Amino acid sequence: MTDAALAELTDSQADRLLEADRPMKRQRLESIPVIEHGEAGDSSLVIRHPLGLLEIFEAPDLLRLGGTCRALYAFTRSEELWRALFVEPFILTEPVKQWPVFKTWSTEELLAQYADVAFRAESVDWPLKTYIEYMNNNTDESPLYLFDRSFAEKMNLKVSTQPEDDAGYWPPTCFGSDLFSVLGEQRPDHRWLIVGPERSGSTFHKDPNATSAWNAVLKGSKYWIMFPSSANLPPPPGVYVSDDQSEVTSPLSIAEWLLGFHAEARRTAGCIEGICGEGEVLYVPSGWYHLVLNLEPAIAITQNFIPRKRVGAVLHFLRDQKQSISGFSDEIQDPYTLFVERLRDYDEQLLEEGLQELEKLSKGARGKWEQLTKGSAEDDDAGEGGFSFGFGGDDDDAEVP
């Protein structure tokens, strides 16, 4: 890559990312839906609602249907609907702003408290003061990314499952229970502190162990480009995937991929993209490919979890893709059996539902949930020129150009 090409990317990243020509036919390119609140509640309430029949639609179709009348417009943009379905990525704008860490954390504040604490930055462990100095002065094309799984313990930070006065943060309550929590201290790695300068980020990957995830931006902003995974859909351009889709290889740096494949990717079936800003949290459905780029210096927290609807997929992964399991301690020899036993103690009915879904997946059957979360290979002519959620509020439906 030439210095001129790199300068073009680093000097005006947000503009550079969004300047590609509009495709002639944008059948599935959407911007990430933005929702205000993520409050607790029983997601099945939406299905029991008379309008719950809308669950049979795919997410893009629901959004287009909302353009037919004011009542459906409001309903298809409701937090309750998206909370119930979890079918595609979405952004919540309010929950993170209630966290104590959102109100107090900055690089300066972290340095004041944890300057000599060592955090993992890719393959090295550096005191935070060393990493922040590097972060503020580097000119690397692909800067080192601080990505630490033990930050809560190192910082003596309390993480709760619901709002508490002495907690640093808690997951947005709309995501419900994290079913990997039944494993207690034997659960795999599931939360990370992420700090990095502009240009840093992560190349295309899927979240581990078939989990879903959320990513909360405390400072800065992040560009996301995402694709559903399916045997009937191609992987993102420039990305190589194993036959069982468990291994994802992206040989190019983020900058190289953006300059070489970004325009093509935006014309690829299933592409969805957006910017998650300060104080916002993005939901990453299980199995979705995603690339993330810091548009400015950023601090974020991310957690992986298992929602109720994905138990079967996780069981399938733990049983049939053992070579790709990650994050468990070496003492755990059989994560699948351990999870089954603990889940049976927690909720036997839920386990039975998960095992039934596991058998469907094993036979290659595609249930409704898998169809929704992994997308469809069929082109949708109704998608040409269709609308998508904007990023400025309910009255902003402008597509990302």
Identify which has the larger pLDDT, 229 or 384: 229
Region 158-165: mean pLDDT is: 92
The pLDDT of residue 76 is 58
Answer whether residue 259 shows pLDDT above 90: yes
- On whether both 53 and 119 belong to a single domain, the answer is no
* pLDDT of 337: 97
CA distances from 88 to 44, 59, 113, 210, 212 (A): 17, 7, 38, 15, 11
Is the distance from CB of 276 to CB of 282 less than 8 angstroms?
yes
H/E stretch holding 396 = none
Return the pLDDT at 72.
Answer: 62
CB atoms within 10 A of CB 11: 9
- My answer on whether 247 and 126 are in the same domain is yes
Q: Dihedral (C-alpha) 118, 122, 123, 129: value to the nearest 10 degrees?
A: -30
Q: Which residue has the higher pLDDT, 35 or 216?
A: 216
Residues of the chain with pLDDT > 70, as a percent, come to 68
Q: Are residues 201 and 289 in the same domain?
A: yes
Phi and psi at 129, nearest 5°, equal -65, -35
Give the range among 24-33, 270-279, 313-322 with minimum mean pLDDT.
Answer: 24-33
State the pLDDT at residue 263: 93
Same domain, 247 and 329: yes
Helix (H/G/I), strand (E/B), else coil: 339: helix
Residue 264 has pLDDT above 90, yes or no: yes
pLDDT for residue 54 is more than 90: no
266 and 315 co-located in one domain? yes
140 CB neighbour count, 10 Å cutoff: 11
pLDDT tens digits for 64-99? 666 676 666 665 555 555 545 566 888 888 899 999
**Dihedral, 188, 83, 372, 334 alpha carbons, nearest 10:** 20
**Average pLDDT in the 354-360 region?**
93
- What does the DSSP 8-state code read for residue 296? S
Query: What is the model's pLDDT at position 31?
Result: 61
Model confidence pLDDT, tens digit, residues 372-399: 455 444 444 433 322 223 233 333 333 3
- Residue 362 pLDDT exceeds 80: yes
Q: What is the pLDDT of residues 283-335, one digit of tens each?
A: 999 999 999 999 999 999 999 999 988 999 999 999 999 989 999 999 999 99
How many Å apart are CA 309 and CA 306, to the nearest integer?
Answer: 8
**Domain with 162 in it:** 27-37+87-365
pLDDT confidence bin for 251, thresholds 50/70/90:
confident
Do 113 and 73 fall into the same domain? no
Same-domain check for residues 109 and 139: yes
Would residue 15 count as lying in a domain?
A: no
Question: With contact defined as beta carbons under 8 Å apart, do 316 and 121 qualify?
Answer: no
Same domain, 182 and 310: yes
Confidence of residue 229 (pLDDT cuts 50, 70, 90): confident
As a whole number, the mean pLDDT across the chain is: 78
* pLDDT for the residue numbered 80: 55
**In the predicted model, is pLDDT for residue 269 greater than 90?**
no
Q: Which two tokens stand for residue 116?
A: 């000599």
Question: Encoding tokens for residue 373?
Answer: 């979360």
Do the Cβ atoms of 244 and 325 come closer than 8 Å?
Answer: no
Whether 9 has a pLDDT exceeding 50, the answer reads no
Same domain, 173 and 81: no
Same domain for 281 and 343, yes or no, is yes
Report the pLDDT averaged over residues 229-245.
82
Q: 272-276 and 30-31: which strand pairing?
A: parallel
Mean pLDDT confidence for 210-229: 95
Give a yes or no: residue 173 inside a domain: yes
